[in-house]
């Protein structure tokens, strides 16, 4: 399964917020840290707010921060928010109803596989993604605060049933 850039960006935004601790972070800082356009960051933030993952504050000293601790944010919940979590095989134009009925079994198999994938992601939290990384303590604009933090999903065991 291939995850969209939207999911990758959402996880990076959350990771950046987790590393900032209680500090507000600016969309522009996230965009620069991960070489993402600010437009894309600003497009994803409302999704994360709606999902209850981040809170935003308006104004000069505004920004965003996590709405709850990183150990309470499951990777699977983020994927459910940003991805289509239903896979179906549809009949091609002109196929008869019998062909559609045959595709129902493949839909059950695909649904089961997707369920297993999400179940594994539910076993991991945002804290797992940032756990070994130091918190950012530098002020915005300082060298420490401007270094990008890359999303590393390689550490997640994505094999079903483990």
Q: How many residues does the chain have?
A: 162
Quick one: pLDDT band at residue 2, thresholds 50, 70, 90? Answer: confident
The number of beta carbons lying within 10 Å of the beta carbon of residue 19 is 20
Q: Is 29 exposed, middle or buried (0-12, 13-18, 19+ CB in 10 A)?
A: buried
Query: Average of pLDDT values for 15-37?
Result: 94
Question: Residue 111 has what pLDDT?
Answer: 83
Query: Average of pLDDT values for 125-149?
Result: 61
Q: Are 33 and 71 in contact (CB under 8 A)?
A: no
Quick one: pLDDT band at residue 133, thresholds 50, 70, 90? Answer: low
Question: Residue 131 has what pLDDT?
Answer: 84
Structural domains in the chain plus CATH codes: 5-146 (1.10.10.10)
Query: Average of pLDDT values for 45-69?
Result: 94
Q: Are 30 and 41 in contact (CB under 8 A)?
A: yes
For 161, left (φ over 0), alpha (ψ -120 to 50), or beta? left
Q: Give me Rg for the CA atoms of the chain.
A: 19
Percent of the chain with pLDDT over 70: 69
Determine if the pTM surpasses 0.75.
no
- In this predicted structure, the answer to whether residue 140 has a pLDDT above a threshold of 50 is no
Q: Rounded CA gap, 51 and 114, in Å?
A: 20
């Amino acid at each position: 399964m291939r995850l969209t850039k939207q999911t990758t960006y959402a996880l990076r935004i959350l990771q950046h917020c987790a590393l900032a601790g209680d500090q507000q972070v600016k969309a522009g800082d996230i965009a620069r840290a991960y070489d993402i356009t600010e437009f894309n960051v600003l497009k994803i933030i409302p999704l994360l707010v709606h999902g209850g993952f981040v809170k935003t504050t308006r104004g000069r000293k505004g920004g965003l921060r996590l709405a709850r601790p990183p150990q309470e944010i499951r990777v699977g919940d983020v994927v459910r928010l940003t991805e289509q979590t239903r896979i179906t095989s549809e009949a091609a134009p002109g196929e008869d109803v019998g062909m559609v009925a045959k595709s129902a079994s493949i839909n059950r198999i695909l649904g089961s596989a997707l369920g297993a994938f999400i179940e594994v992601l539910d076993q991991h939290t945002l804290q797992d993604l940032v756990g070994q990384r130091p918190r950012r303590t530098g002020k915005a604009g300082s060298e420490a605060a401007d270094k990008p933090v890359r999303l590393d999903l390689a550490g997640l065991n994505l094999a079903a049933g483990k």
